[in-house]
Amino acid sequence: MSTAEHHVADHAHDDHDHGPAKGIMRWLTTTNHKDIGTMYLVFALIMFLTGGTMALVIRAELFQPGLQLVEPAFFNQMTTMHALIMVFGAVMPATVGLANWMIPMMVGAPDMALPRMNNWSFWILPVAFTLLLSTLLMPGGAPAAGWTMYPPLVQQTGDAFPFMVFSIHLMGASSIMGAINIIVTIMNMRAPGMTLLKMPLFVWTWLITAYLLIAVMPVLAGGVTMLLTDQYFGTTFFRADGGGDPVMFQHIFWFFGHPEVYIMILPAFGIISEIIPTFSRKPLFGYESMVYATASIAFLSFIVWAHHMFTVGMPLAGELFFMFSTMLIAVPTGVKVFNWISTMWRGAMTFETPMLFSIAFVILFTIGGFSGLMLAIAPADFQYHDSYFVVAHFHYVLVPGAVFAIMAGVYYWLPKWTGHMYSEKLGKLHFWISTISVNVLFFPQHFLGLAGMPRRIPDYNTQFADFNMISSIGAFVFGFSQLLFVYIIWRCVKGGEPATAEVWESPAGLEWTVPSPAPYHTFDVAPEVK
């Protein structure tokens, strides 16, 4: 099918989809990948603001020592809900939304392979999160055991516990359906001539991520179901009084939890790998090595889970295995960082908002990577474990990492989605406020952790007061600056400068939707001397 025919098919699909259904029914019944992508992105934005508000409750309480705003139990409910909402409600649906929008267009498909399942996988999510948020209104409040839900603590949370388990099952079902859809679309609906190693890197990272999702979401489902049967059906999987082992839950949870971290970051790698070549005006350096590095990271993510539990008393051989395998992940990740920097090297770079977010991603994600290497050292981890150093580490990976990459992708593709340019001046303002404040927010937490401040506590020793105050100020500036992001998107959707065919001007003539693999060229053929 030619590009022109694709456009005709796409518009025919749009007309067919939007013809009879109007208003709310259009969104409830749509099978169009662009509509569903938009719904995922809007839902993720709402959840991002909801989870962010919970984080501000936490930081407001920690602004100074002493208990001033909330009860300790409610404080821990906030940490639990903040984590579950940000992971399953904000970051994952946002990357799925980008996948829904872009993958069919990038592989030359008219839509996703399984459009009705696509609709269903989205509409499960609002139900799941309504269930999860409703636990805050139940007797005893939401579970206060952290997003890790360790027994026996989680089973002391009363009526809300089974609702949390059920909402997690629904989120998992949604993720698995989305993953199946992405795999089938990429494998079966690529345009003729698009071999796997000609796919854009965003498509590659999502293909690998989808396999990770299918592999690990059932593990989480099994773990939380065992928690449920321990509580209500007399089993003793994790109950020491019946011969069970609470530490077994940690193994099951982290066998899901560590690949989950890469489920959030691999699509971010894909977005960055699309943006940096465009604004460097040259093809991505080392395309194939990027694909193999992504696959290596995905494979290694399955064999490092117990580095989250060095302090449970595992054998020395186990500590050594998990220490070395964790350090090994730094190698393919280092390959990716090297390739991004090499792509920018001697490129005709310009610094529009998506590129600024991408460069910040490369620098700040690397800080998160280095603190991860510190945590990988088993004897050092005994000191860092469950301290604010860990909080600083994973927030550097997930906020200036995954969240910044999603923001970069939104700025990059908004003109393509809406036909309008966003305000570049406001975009840069959003970037600078976010980047400065996110470092003011999370960098001091490294020092708090090294000084011994434990995580998930509402009160603390006065020696930690100054860094906590700085961190909380950064949190409020970062949180409120995201309202500017919402305004920029809203203004762009409503109208603005029309986007031209080549939005991102390119002296080299590369289109702004440049595919990751190098286009055909004759750079290595000497010109004829006339």
Q: Contact 199/133 with Cβ under 8 angstroms?
A: no
Which of 10, 61, 111, 274 is labelled catalytic?
111
* Residue 500 among the catalytic residues: no
Three-class secondary structure of residue 420 per DSSP: strand
Active site residue 147: yes
Q: Which among 33, 34, 59, 82 is annotated as catalytic?
A: 82
Catalytic residue status for 511:
no
Which of the residues 13, 251, 428, 455 is marked catalytic?
Answer: 455
Residue 476 and residue 56 in contact, taking contact as beta carbons nearer than 8 Å: yes
Distance from C-alpha of 299 to C-alpha of 302, rounded to nearest angstrom: 6
Of 138, 165, 143, 168, the C-alpha closest to 154 is 143
* Catalytically annotated residue among 34, 59, 190, 258: 258
Residue 141 Cα to chain centre, angstroms? 27
Return the SS3 of 454: strand
Give the whole-angstrom CA distance, residue 477 versus residue 473: 6
Phi and psi at residue 498, to the nearest 5°: -65, 140
- Separation in Å, CA 329 to CA 253, 263, 285: 20, 15, 20
Q: Is 487 among the residues known to form the active site? A: no
- Cα torsion at 261, 119, 162, 142 (round to 10°)? 70
Is 167 an active-site residue? Answer: no
| Spatial separation of the C-alpha atoms in residues 371 and 12, rounded to whole Å | 51
Could you tell me how many residues make up the chain?
530
Is the previous residue joined to 152 through a cis bond, with omega within 30 degrees of 0? yes
Cβ–Cβ < 8 Å for 337, 362? yes
Q: Which residue has the tokens 């003793």?
A: 236
* Count of CB atoms situated within 10 Å of the CB of 279: 26
Active site residue 260: yes
> 34, 59, 282, 307: which one is catalytic?
307
- Written in H, E and C, the secondary structure of 292-357 is HHHHHHHHHHHHCHHHHHHHHCCCHHHHHHHHHHHHHCHHHHHHHHHHHHHHHCCCCCCCCHHHHH
- Catalytic residue (one of 30, 95, 174, 358): 174
DSSP code string of 346-390: T------HHHHHHHHHHHHHHHHHHHHHHHHSHHHHHHHTTBHHH
Q: Which residue has the tokens 């928690």?
A: 227
| 333 part of the active site | yes
Respond yes or no: is residue 307 known to be catalytic: yes
- Of the residues 308, 385, 393, 446, only one is catalytic, namely 308
Residue 336 annotated as catalytic: yes
In contact, 342 and 364? CB cutoff 8 Å:
no
Catalytic residue (one of 260, 274, 319, 352):
260
* Structure tokens that stand for 506 in this block: 């390119």
CA 159, distance to chain mean position in Å, is 30
- Look up 258 and say whether it is catalytic: yes
Residues known to be catalytic:
82, 111, 147, 174-175, 258, 260, 262, 273, 307-308, 333, 336, 455
